[in-house]
Chain A
Amino acid sequence: MRPGYSPFPLLLPPSTSFSPLRTPRIARPQQLLFSYPKKRHRAPPGDSPTRRRRRRRRLAKMAEQLYTVASDSETTGEDKSQPSFPDVAIGIDIGTSKCSVAVWNGHQVELLKNTRNQKGMRSYVMFKDDTLSAGVTGGAAKENAHEERDILSGSAIFNMKRLIGRMDTDEVVQASKTLPFLVQTLGIGVRPFIAALVNNMWRSTTPEEVLAIFLLELKALVEMHLKHPVRNAVLTIPVAFSRFQQTRIERACAMAGLHVLRLMPEPTAVALLYAQQQQQLVNDNMGSGIEKIALIFNMGAGYCDAAVAATAGGVSQIRALSGCTAGGEDILQNIMRHVVPNFDNLYAGQTMDRIQSMSLLRMATQDAIHKLVNQETVEINIDLGNGHKVSKVLDHSEFEQVNRAIFDKCEKIINQCLVDAKLVPEDINDVILVGGCSKIPRIRSLVLGLCKKEISYKNIDALEAAVSGAALEGAIASGVNDPSGSLDLLTIQATPMNLGIRANGDSFAAIIPRNTTVPARRDMLFTTTHDNQTEALIAVYEGEGERAEDNHLLGYFKITGIPAAPKGTVEISVCMDIDATNVLRVFAGVVKPQGPATPPFIEVRMPTLDDGHGWCGQALAKMYGKTLDLAVLPKKLQP
């Protein structure tokens, strides 16, 4: 069997052996399948593997020709520059539940539709026999009605945005164990094992791989639409994504042959769209041109974000960002547990009948939550099999009570955003509500109430805003110049999380605090904690926790050759630099005493860690204890 036609073209080990450069070639059969959605599903009876392979090869050849015509000159669409095409970066919003893609078409942002006329495509990848198909083309089923059931059959992997770049001790990963596919954890801070059900067998994959397959289909859709290859993309990400998770998204993109021009926190993409609209009003002499403050609240299936942006003259300044991992998936799980109180016992361990029963429960609950947006009460009636029937009437107050913890989280991030932006609710001009969950009445009233507003901003589509903003940024970052000035926009971004190192025992010393405008460069002085300490460990963390261990470990390195001196007398400078492209570098070295005996500074690009970052932190602590510790040098008084 030729390597290119292996049943799982993208099922390569997630380790370092994977070269992004090789990806497009390996992946091409997937891309080609896209052109023939009807022929892919089931082999005719009596089909031998050889015949199937031959047919696929023929299909590939046909599609290759088709593709050649479509792209006008390129036969491969890979590894070469395409000077004849304006390489405008596309905007992609990969949602936990749905995904969309948009491009700047020369005049405005245009959202692309798939063959089923959908702008929002379900985010999943279906593993069936020897084919893979993603939700872009609706691979699970030809009819929408069957799609959801197939997604929940255990053969599809979804919610990859919740799983990507997380270790198995993460509560989000733990909560994902109730999904129909396999999520196995060891609880020691390594990658979770995930697998899809293929012919009654669990077949392993990784979130990056699933995302890559999805992005590949998405890329094919865009290329079919634009009739030329695309390479660059701007993706939106949740505010709560760690830098490590960002590298995983970049890796998935590389596997799909996409180059990440920028990763934009979702609410900042919405802020960009808002800035453009405000600028348009000024150009039309309808706006005042004075600074407007917008609070953007975004809640989807997996994440919840808030941002405060100050906008004037096309400049959107992000004053504060905050986010958490609360979303529609949590609401759904809460309601499922509420409806079936012995949920965890009933669905412990994934057997075929349990997967089927849970998928019924999941669909019925999801449907009820959607109905509850417009209804006072909703009735849930399901036969879960094995004589287990559920009949329940759910109203708003019960719904709100069950999900109180989630609404509290939403409240917390909005309040934190306002405090960090040093604003009071009265300062806010517009409240922008986006994301699927922003339709929930309680969410709307909660956000508007906290901002002391009666109504939310009208001119932004809740489901299309993030992707539109990403496409705008894609056009801007690709150097597109619009004569009407509608791309004369600038977003001044901020860091969503504290960046710092472990110091004073297990404390976290933030060197770049959250909501610092980027690019940024900050430094801090540290000192030794033992007499004649010649080495120090710099463990770089990101997060909101007070203890270092409560944060994400990004990487570590040692400073060696510290001149022998009593503790507390040596001065070690640790400088953190986030450059224009959001790359974090850490510089560290001895600044006192000076002389030829001091070692050179060390510059490290972060994150350096690949896998098992949680496990790593514990190993470091176990191995070295306090011998390499540093302490924050108290600031000397200003003269």
Chain B
Amino acid sequence: MPHLAATPPTSSAAAAVPTAHPTAAGRVAFRRPWDTPRLRVRARGVRREDGGGVRTEDQEQERTSSRTFYDLLGISAEGSPDEVRAAYRRLALKYHPDVSPPGAAAENTRRFIEVQEAYETLSDPSRRASYDRALARGVCLLAFSGRRSQSHRAYHHHHHHQEQEEKFGWRRSWEDQIAELKRRSTTKDSEENLSWGARMRRRAEASSAEQL
């Protein structure tokens, strides 16, 4: 198959992906400009009385400290299945990308996947029981999933995941920076506080939005 051999894999990958930037935030903005009005409206709507898309300080802490699935869902370790479901729905309305404000879509998608994982573990009696046993042994907190998922940095405590972790570390920190920049650009109106690059990005976004 000469075409495969002749084509360097990197170029075929780049051709398949319309955006050169592998950041999730960039992707969302690139692909679905038409989604923006909805998100904006939703952000203003009833759903967002919890502070809109702006991440609060305790949410920032959530991300850095080791916590349990119970903390993630905001319920006690004795929470009933109904409470698990109600908490899941509440958090889905907060973090599902369909109801996220544009700047927070990438970050919220990641959080939604975490919430989903917590819900799937705690809503299944047998998985919840083994998770509780693991918690009691103090093994791993958020890490317990029975499956590898490199999207969740806090999940990796096993040494053989660490290399993989490093591999994706650069991307994640980059994504975080982008998400943070986006967050700032949506919360602060004045352009003075932004870097030159951020200003350029904003202008490019604005002009591409006009063209649509």
Measured CB to CB, the residues of A under 8 A from B are: 81, 87, 232, 259, 261, 290-291, 310, 312-313, 315, 317, 422, 476-481, 485, 488, 490-492, 517, 519-525, 557-560, 571, 573, 575, 577, 579-581, 583, 585, 589, 591-592, 594, 599-605, 608, 619-620, 623-624, 636, 638-639
Contacts and interface: CB of A to CB of B under 8 A. Distances in A.
B92 A490 contact: yes
Contacts of A559: 9
B3 to A, nearest CB: 11
Interface of B: 1, 4, 9-10, 12-13, 16-18, 22, 24, 27-28, 31-32, 34-42, 44-47, 82, 85-86, 89, 92-93, 96-99, 105, 109, 112-113, 116, 120, 124, 139, 146-151, 158, 160, 163-164, 166-167, 212
Contacts of A488: 45-47
Contacts of A312: 85-86, 89
B31 A583 contact: yes
Contacts of B24: 579
B17 A521 contact: no
Nearest to A261: B34
B144 to A, nearest CB: 8
B151 A604 contact: no
Contact of B116 (A87, A517, A624): A517
Given A488-B46, A605-B17, 5 more contacts: A481-B45, A517-B116, A579-B28, A580-B98, A602-B13
A580 B109 contact: yes
Contacts of A575: 150-151
A367 to B, nearest CB: 44
28 contacts: A261-B34, A312-B86, A315-B93, A317-B92, A476-B38, A476-B98, A479-B37, A479-B40, A491-B98, A492-B92, A517-B116, A523-B149, A524-B148, A558-B4, A571-B160, A577-B151, A579-B28, A579-B97, A580-B97, A583-B31, A592-B160, A594-B167, A601-B167, A602-B10, A603-B22, A604-B13, A604-B16, A605-B17
Contacts of B9: 557-560, 599, 602
A523 B148 contact: yes
A591 B34 contact: no
A222 to B, nearest CB: 17
Contact of A522 (B40, B47, B139, B149): B149
B124 to A, nearest CB: 7
Contacts of B149: 521-523
A313 B109 CA distance: 21
Contacts of A589: 167
A362 to B, nearest CB: 42
Contacts of A422: 124
Contacts of B160: 571, 592, 636
B16 A523 contact: no
Contacts of A623: 1
Contacts of B47: 488
Contact of B35 (A315, A477, A591, A605): A477
Nearest 8 CB-CB pairings of A with B: A580-B97, A479-B38, A479-B37, A479-B41, A521-B151, A591-B164, A602-B13, A481-B41
A394 B175 CA distance: 65
B163 A594 contact: yes
Contact of A478 (B37, B147, B163): B37
A579 B25 CA distance: 11
Contact of B113 (A476, A480, A481, A521): A521
Contacts of B97: 519, 579-580
Contacts of A573: 150, 164, 167
A608 B89 contact: no
Contacts of A478: 34, 37-38
Nearest to A480: B41
Contacts of B18: 605
A271 to B, nearest CB: 15
Contact of B146 (A259, A624, A638): A638
Nearest to B44: A481
A631 B2 CA distance: 25
A585 B22 CA distance: 11
A557 B163 contact: no
Contact of A479 (B31, B39, B86, B147): B39
A579 B163 contact: no
A424 to B, nearest CB: 14
| Most chain A beta-carbon contacts within 10 A, residue among B9, B27, B112, B139 | B9
A581 B31 contact: yes
A639 B158 contact: yes
A585 B28 contact: no
B42 A519 contact: no
